[in-house]
Amino acid sequence: MTFANDLDKLASPGAFPQAADPAVRWGQMIRESSEIAEVLRAGLESGKLVPLRALATVSSGVVTRANAYFIVRELPFDGIPKRFRITKRDYGRVTVIMDGLETPFRIEREYLREIAKGPDSLISPVALKRTDARLVDINRSKEDLRGIRHSDAVAYLKRGETFPYNVSGDKLKGGVPAKRSNIRTRRPYWYTLNAPLVVGPRILVPEHFDKRFVATAVSSENEVVVIDTLYTVTPLNDSFTNAILWSLNSVLGWYQVELRGRTQHGEGVLKVKIPDWRGVLVLNPEALADSDLERLSRLFTPIASSPTLEVADELARPERNRFDAAIALSAGAANPDEFRLLLERELRAAMGERHERSESVSDAKVARSSASKPSASIEAYAARIAASVTPFPDPRVYIASGQHTIPLPIAQPFEGDLTLGDSLFSAGDVLAGDDIVASASGILAAEYVRAALLHDGKLGVVDVPSEPGLDETMSAWKAAVAEWQTTFDVECDKVLKMIADSRMRGEIRNQALRFVHAR
């Protein structure tokens, strides 16, 4: 080839693959077994395998930029505080939510959407985990909302325009949501999330993997909103759905995902971005005969009907081995059983290498981060702990229906950690430093007030249950706190076990407690 021809090739935009969408990644090229690579190459050339990009689009989930405001928890009817005065008849139209600061709000139900967030939401290839988490998705203007008398939605938008949601040490994740630089420029309104419309069946896949691989199919009737830690694979044709789902839930798909992902995410977690997913080779549905479709569908049924386990447990299932061998046969493997064993062996080795690598550098990472930016490390570790647990229980949730309450004024503003008076003359006082924030009728009432203020420090009045309801409320709350504390300690130990500095461990724990409103 002449130099002039080389220049012509360089001038053609279609001569080379796009840099952001590689067919083969360097890590994959270096670590891939030559035997497996040969089978995949032959399958691609014969048309039995095609890149996922040829059959579907892969898109990221909704990025709220303020999860504590937009992602809320819907309360069951029995858990709604009586002060909201919602009857069973009203409950079909309005409900009560808890935002990320554990503050309850009444809102019209039509502005709440069910969400799928994180790998834990994907139970099996056909089952999603149903939770009480909801996305506040309002697409009307405030003028329109007032016109149709949806005052609760207007009030919640006002909250997002005036109240700071500081649940992280990251400056980009703090402050008033509507005033954040990455939110206020949204169009047409700052609260517009632009969740994509559901036009057909979808397959949800994670961005992060550890020891469990799963892809979950969602029908067109299910309008669940995918949040940013998951991706949506939308087949270009509905008839492609099964072939894609089978491929991504096979050891052949898992092996490719393991090699195409990035392991620099820390703690042995595999990060798989959209370009990585688009290059995964899947079965070509147009190359599958009717007998192939019937056989794969039959073998996939027991796989889909049970929760997907970790890889080590999943690969020990006989029905899984039969299904993976059938996938290998359809992909063009001459000896599908031997090819399946090779895939299993190489996948286990690659996953083991990923986890061993993270453990080998954990001490060095901790030492380096604590020496260079100790405050940043404390914030990061504390945020990791806080993200693994639910917020500290709010005693206001445990007030019995019909319970009489007594309003107790709160001295505003106050600064510093809240404590309870411990002397004869300060019993019943809630203190911020040396300043009295509130004076309750007794120690139990003071403890109730302090816990409520931990969740919302801007309260001017706290409604304290009167006796004997106060004792019942606090008993239920303390039981919830004990259960929560056990979970917190477990998650805390997971993060702190690699940190040798006891002083830093204590600071991280205290900061994590602040993040979840326990201090």
CB-CB contact of 419 with 451 (8 Å): no
Per-residue pLDDT, averaged over 339-346, amounts to 95
Q: What pLDDT was estimated at residue 58? A: 96
Average pLDDT along the chain: 86
Tally of structural domains, the chain? 3
pLDDT per residue as tens digits for the range 289-318? 999 999 999 999 999 999 999 999 999 999
Domain boundary residue, one of 316, 335, 360: 360
CB-CB contact of 37 with 103 (8 Å): no
Q: What is the pTM of this model?
A: 0.68
d(CA 259, CA 255): 6
- The proportion of the chain whose per-residue pLDDT surpasses 90, expressed as a percent, equals 54
Q: What pLDDT was estimated at residue 266? A: 56
Q: What pLDDT was estimated at residue 367? A: 52
Q: What pLDDT was estimated at residue 325? A: 97
Question: Are 72 and 153 in a shared domain?
Answer: yes
Q: Which of 359, 295, 256 is nearest to 43 (CA)?
A: 256
Question: Are 204 and 315 in a shared domain?
Answer: yes
Question: Are 37 and 102 in a shared domain?
Answer: no
Question: Are 208 and 315 in a shared domain?
Answer: yes
Does 500 or 427 have the greater pLDDT score?
427
Q: Which of these ranges, 51-55, 431-435, 459-463, has the smallest mean pLDDT?
A: 431-435
Per-residue pLDDT, averaged over 449-477, amounts to 82
d(CA 473, CA 333): 64
Q: What pLDDT was estimated at residue 498? A: 63
| Dihedral Cα 271, 273, 279, 283, nearest 10 deg | 70
Question: Are 296 and 412 in a shared domain?
Answer: no
Structural domain contains residue 419: yes
Give residues with Cβ within 8 angstroms of 233, minimum separation 6. Answer: 52, 56, 57, 58, 202, 203, 204, 205, 215, 244, 248, 277
Q: What pLDDT was estimated at residue 488? A: 86
Structural domain contains residue 384: no
Question: Are 212 and 101 in a shared domain?
Answer: no
Measured from the Cβ of residue 35, the count of other Cβ atoms closer than 10 Å reads 14
Whether residue 26 is predicted with pLDDT greater than 80 in this model: the reply is no
Structural domain contains residue 6: no
Question: Are 310 and 447 in a shared domain?
Answer: no
Structural domain contains residue 366: no
Structural domain contains residue 387: no
Q: ∠ at Cα 48 (45, 50), nearest 5°?
A: 75
d(CA 293, CA 208): 30
Q: Give the pLDDT band of residue 372 (cuts 50, 70, 90).
A: very low
Structural domain contains residue 455: yes
d(CA 304, CA 249): 9
Domain boundary residue, one of 360, 383, 417: 360
Per-residue pLDDT, averaged over 451-474, amounts to 81
Q: What pLDDT was estimated at residue 130? A: 92
Does 231 or 484 have the greater pLDDT score?
231
Question: Are 276 and 234 in a shared domain?
Answer: yes
CA dihedral over 88, 93, 94, 99, signed as positive or negative = positive
Angstrom distances, CA of residue 44 to CA of 34, 236, 277? 15, 19, 16
Q: Which of 156, 235, 125, 169 is nearest to 387 (CA)?
A: 169
Q: Which of 492, 488, 462, 460 is nearest to 392 (CA)?
A: 488
DSSP H helical ranges for 213-289: 241-248, 251-260, 274-278
Whether residue 461 is predicted with pLDDT greater than 70 in this model: the reply is yes
d(CA 137, CA 220): 19
Most confident of 24-33, 62-71, 432-441: 62-71
Question: Are 166 and 239 in a shared domain?
Answer: no
Question: Are 231 and 270 in a shared domain?
Answer: yes
Q: What pLDDT was estimated at residue 371? A: 44
pLDDT per residue as tens digits for the range 354-364? 877 666 555 55
Q: Supply the DSSP symbol for 184.
A: T
Question: Are 146 and 205 in a shared domain?
Answer: no
Angstrom distances, CA of residue 361 to CA of 28, 203, 267? 22, 35, 9
Question: Are 50 and 79 in a shared domain?
Answer: no
Q: Which DSSP string do the residues of 341-392 spell out, in sequence order?
A: HHHHHHHHHHHHHHHHHHHHTHHHHHHHHHHH-HHHHHHHHHHHHHHTSPPP
Structural domain contains residue 243: yes
Q: Which domain holds residue 507?
A: 395-515
Q: Supply the DSSP symbol for 267.
A: T
Structural domain contains residue 192: no
Whether residue 24 is predicted with pLDDT greater than 70 in this model: the reply is yes
Q: Give the pLDDT band of residue 487 (cuts 50, 70, 90).
A: confident
